Every structure is written in C-alpha cells, then in structure tokens.
Structure 1
Amino acid sequence: MSTSPAPRMLDVTALKALGHPLRVQLLDLLASYGEQTASGLAARLGESSGSTSYHLRQLAKHGLVEEVEGHGSKRERWWRRPAGGFQVSMEAAEHNPAARILVHSVARQIEQRRAAALADFLDHGMEALPEEWLDSSVLNTINLQLDAQQLQDISVRTMEFLTKIADEYRGAGGADARPIQLHFNAFPLIDPAAGPTPDSER
C-alpha cells in the first residue's frame, strides 16, 4: 500500500505561477490522466505544444510539476504531478490584498475545472458510460448547522478518512480502470438576505 505525502501548502510565489488559466488546466489533466507529454496535453486542450511546453517549464520551476526521469527523449519529455498534491490557503493572503486577489483567482479556476468535470458527467455520462459505472457513482449533499470549530473538525477528519481510503486503491487499478475524481465540499452558505455577519463588520 502506497501512502501519499501530506499536501503542500502553496505560498504566494507558487500561486503566482498558477496565475495563468492554462497552467491550472495542465495540472488538472496531469492529476486526472497521469503522465503526459507537452504535445499530448496540447492535443487535449487545443493548444500548441510550444505553449504547453513553456507553461510546463514554468510550473516545474516552482515544483508544481516534474519531469519523468528515464522516460521520453530530449525532444519529447514526459511530465507528471508530484505526489501529495497541494492546497490553496487563504491564510497566505490574510494581510496582503494583492495576494488575496491571487488566491481567489486560482481557487476560482480550480473550482471551475471541478464544475466542468461534473457538468460533463451529468451531460454525457448516460450515453458514454456503461451502467455499472453510473451505478457506482454518487452525488450527495449533507446539510448541517455548525460553528467554525465544528466545520474545521469535520473537514480535517473527512480528509484524513478519504486520504486513507484513496491510498488503499492508489496504483491498484485494473485493465478497465478509468480516471476518477472524488469531490467532497464543506462550507458555510452565504445568505445575502441575512445581512453582514459580525466578523464582516469589524
């Protein structure tokens, strides 16, 4: 059983490297489909291989992607996401307005990619996937009333639990394995009708 390293918390410098939307797409494709070449990624995205190659090199400077050693050639290098993944933290921009905008932009791009993947599943899953894959999928929402500490407790325990389960299956896919994404969101709902919260008034 392989155990994933703890997620890397991105600092402002690394976040700046993700400021270009294409770089977020590249990271998403490498996470979903594994090792790829710049030309393979370009074909998926409808971009030139020169463009994807440039952006992969920029991501590599900040350790967000890495070249696969012993795979490929000088003309056709293979790239992958480092093990462990990363997290975007609002704490990195708590006292820096410019960095706060950057964090919001990167987090928004990541969430847009997630939403697009879910939309593709909803729009095309019935036609594209065998019945057993549809039966094995689930879209679930749980509504609770929590304070901030309780939400943090659920978030930490859920991620620990999911990571433990995912590590049991990492690298164990068979011949019919498909790329799979697991989305579990936990967040306080923002109700415009409720007015400002005490924290927002300070």
Structure 2
Amino acid sequence: MESRTSVPGLPAAGDVAQEVGHTVVGAAALKALAHPLRIRLLEELSRYGAQTASGLATRLGESSGSTSYHLRQLAKHGLVREVRDRGTARERWWERPPGPLVVATPGLATSPATRTAARLVSREFERGRAQALAEFMDHGVDQLDPQWTEAAIISTSSLHLTVEQLREVSEKAERYVRSLAGQYPNEPGAEGTLPVQLHLNVFPLMDGRAAGPPPGK
C-alpha cells in the first residue's frame, strides 16, 4: 500500500472522495483528523499495514478503548476502514485506504477553524516525519545491518525558483515519486523487507519489531 500525505490547495471535493489512486479529504474530515492521536493512528496504519485497536494501543502506549474510539471516528470520515475478511466481532482489524491522502481545503482563506485544523494536521504529520528521521539517524548504525544504512539517502537541494518553476518542480517530483512507488508491491510484513519512508530522504523506519540488531550481534 502506497501511503503518502500532501496538503495542497485543491478545489472542493466534498468530505472524503476516493479518486483514482488517492483519497481526497475535505474540510469536515480534516477537522475530524485534527487530533494528535488520530494522526498517529493514521501514520501507524500507513507505515505498518492493517492492525487491531489493541495492537495499536500497545504500540502507542494508549488504552484499547481510546484507540478503538478514535479509529471509529476516522472511519466515519473514510480515513480508515475495517478489514472485512479479518478479525471477529470482538477484535476488528483496521487499514488505511491505498494511495496518498490529499487534503482539499478551499476554506483555508475564509475559515479560521479550517486553518487551525490544517495547521495541526500539517504540524503533527511533520512531527512524525522528523521523529522517524531522527530515530534512524540516532539508531540506524547500531541496530541495522550496514547494507540498510548504506542504501538509504538523506538529501537536500537548495534552489532559487519563480512560483511557476516551483510548481513545475513540485508536480514533476510528485509524478516521479508516484511512478517510482508504484513499481513495488509494498506489502507490510513481506519477508526481507523493512518499512521505508521517502521524503526525499529515503530510509528504513526504526520499528522495534522489524529493526533488530544486525545478524551475528
């Protein structure tokens, strides 16, 4: 499952719409998402695939009642969905719809509440990205086989662009990343894989279950 999140200014698309290859989120769903735990839940499902409320509670240090409640709220807005072929009436499995999440917020210019929600969502997603990179930088060399750290890249390019050039670079980068990501099955838990994020930085996520010590240590 490809899982990327962007927050551009797009035309209104209702509350949540499943477009070709991505999910478009309107203002109402954006406000529902504007809760730190809900964003963390969405990130966990994006990174590691389908999980139960109790499994997510263990990973995040929350109660299963809390994660279950917030998963149901996300599901009301189509941001997560129940995995119908897994689990029981007592233990439901949840997943992210495939593809990137695109937030459509035409009310940013006129609605203080929508602006506040957009800021919180953007800030929390960025916090999660920064934390993931910091964990890799701090612990990757110690906990991963050297081939994983050698294959990763932390890259920054500084440019001076007009607004038209910036738009062109953004659109080309987005198309290329989508094309590149689409070449890989990206199945959580597949043998020989680790969860990886691409910013562009490209690095393995330091998930405790997957990123054990290198062989022989």
So what's the TM-score if we normalise by structure 2?
Answer: 0.79
The offset of 1:89, in angstroms, is: 4.6
The amino acid across from 1:37 in the alignment is T
Aligned 8 A contact 2:154 2:200 in 1: no
The one of 176, 179, 184 equivalent to 1:161 is 176
2:10 match: none
1:193 match: none
1:71 match: 86
Counting only pairs closer than 5 Å after superposition, residues 94-109 of structure 1 correspond to structure 2 as: 94-109=109-124
SS of the counterpart of 1:87? strand
Q: 1:172 to 1:116 in 2, by over 3 A?
A: closer
Answer 1 or 2: which has greater strand percent. 2
So what's the TM-score if we normalise by structure 1?
Answer: 0.85
Deviation by residue 1:138-179 (Cα, 9 ceiling, x = unmatched): 000011100111111111111111111111103368511011
Task: Give the whole-Å Cα distance in 2 for the aligned partners of 1:89 and 1:152.
Answer: 17
Answer 1 or 2: which has greater helix percent. 1
Aligned 8 A contact 1:88 1:107 in 2: no
Task: Give the whole-Å Cα distance in 2 for the aligned partners of 1:44 and 1:5.
Answer: 32
2:186 match: 171
The total of aligned residue pairs comes to 183
Which entry has the higher C-alpha Rg, 1 or 2?
1
Q: Does residue 1:38 correspond to 2:53, yes or no?
A: yes
SS of the counterpart of 1:22? helix
The amino acid across from 1:79 in the alignment is W
Calculate the aligned-residue CA RMSD, in Å: 1.9
Task: Give the whole-Å Cα distance in 2 for the aligned partners of 1:57 and 1:84.
Answer: 20
Identity among equivalent positions (%) equals 46
The one of 11, 22, 26 equivalent to 1:11 is 26
1:194 match: none
